[in-house]
Amino acid sequence: MAASPYPENGSLSFLGLLRRDFARYVPYGTRVSFARTLYTWIDTPGLHAILTYRFGNWVSRRVRLRIVRYPLLVLHYLLDKLCIVLWGIHVNRGARIGPGLYIGHYGGVIIGPVEIGEDCNVAHQVTVGLRVDGQPGLPRFGNNVWIGTGAVIYGDITIGNGVMIAPCTVVARSLPDRCMVLGNPLRVLSSDYDNYVAIYGRPRPEASVSAAAT
């Protein structure tokens, strides 16, 4: 099980990351018109929070000139507070999040300075961050992780690729790839679970081809 594959090499630009994030909010099979694009950006609180995070993260990592950096950080601070007040979503600008983050619903979403891979889904009332007892370390997520409503994930742990964390689950230990977990105390329901449909809202392409062939 590897740590988060967050891209450190700048393979995607700021706009490239936003395009990948936006694509996660377009329903499968929907034609992406200008009107549809505008409506999605205006009417999707999760995208507002992700845009705010991407902006703050970009300023923190890329802008070095203080006379420019500090006003932009103040702007990010105000936008972040606006997302908290309006939508109840906070994503720490120090987090390292790969492309394709999907925050499905607003309300009670707190994501600390963690590491998250590509194409991960986060529901509402989710908290991800530090332990309350002061022990150091933050969660690291692989790709295609699905986090259900009311989940709490904390501490120096690693969550593998393709993990399914069911609603109201408390996770305080590392999890291997492709497992499904539930509850508090945590129970492993499956050690080889395919969460593709939950992540993308459509069948795997190869599954569709196989069904058509039969």
- Cα-Cα-Cα-Cα dihedral sign, residues 177, 180, 182, 186: negative
**Mean pLDDT computed over 57-61:** 96
**Token pair for residue 161?**
């690729």
**Mean pLDDT computed over 134-139:** 90
Backbone dihedral region for residue 150 (phi beyond 0: left; psi -120 to 50: alpha; all else: beta): left
Q: Which of 190, 7, 46 shows the shortest CA–CA distance to 126? A: 46
Are β-strands 109-111 and 170-171 bridged in parallel, bridged antiparallel, or unpaired?
unpaired
Q: Which of 97, 143, 103 shows the shortest CA–CA distance to 123? A: 103
Spatial distance between the Cα atoms of 177 and 38, rounded to a whole number of angstroms: 36
Note the pTM of the prediction, 2 decimals. Answer: 0.89
Spatial distance between the Cα atoms of 77 and 67, rounded to a whole number of angstroms: 16
Q: Please tell me the predicted confidence (pLDDT) of residue 68.
A: 96
**Token pair for residue 28?**
């499968």
Q: Mean pLDDT score of the chain, rounded to an integer?
A: 91
Spatial distance between the Cα atoms of 161 and 120, rounded to a whole number of angstroms: 10
Please determine, for residue 156, whether its predicted confidence score (pLDDT) is greater than 60.
Answer: yes
Q: Please tell me the predicted confidence (pLDDT) of residue 204.
A: 86
Q: Please tell me the predicted confidence (pLDDT) of residue 56.
A: 97
Please enumerate, as own/partner, the contacts of 100-109 that have beta carbons within 8 Å and a separation of 24 or more. Answer: 100/20, 100/21, 100/23, 100/24, 101/21, 101/24, 101/50, 102/21, 102/24, 102/25, 102/46, 102/199, 103/45, 103/46, 103/49, 103/50, 104/46, 105/46, 105/149, 106/45, 106/46, 106/49, 109/49
Residue with tokens 């022990």: 135
Collapsing DSSP to helix, strand or coil, 1 comes out as: coil
Spatial distance between the Cα atoms of 54 and 94, rounded to a whole number of angstroms: 10
Q: Which of 179, 97, 108 shows the shortest CA–CA distance to 140? A: 97
Could you state, in order of their start, the residue ranges of all structural domains in the chain?
14-200
**Mean pLDDT computed over 115-123:** 97
Superfamily of structural domain 14-200: Hexapeptide repeat proteins (2.160.10.10)
Q: Using one digit for the tens of pLDDT, what is the confidence trace for 175-187?
A: 999 999 999 999 9
**Residue 153, CA atoms < 13 Å, CB-side half-sphere:** 35
**Mean pLDDT computed over 33-41:** 92
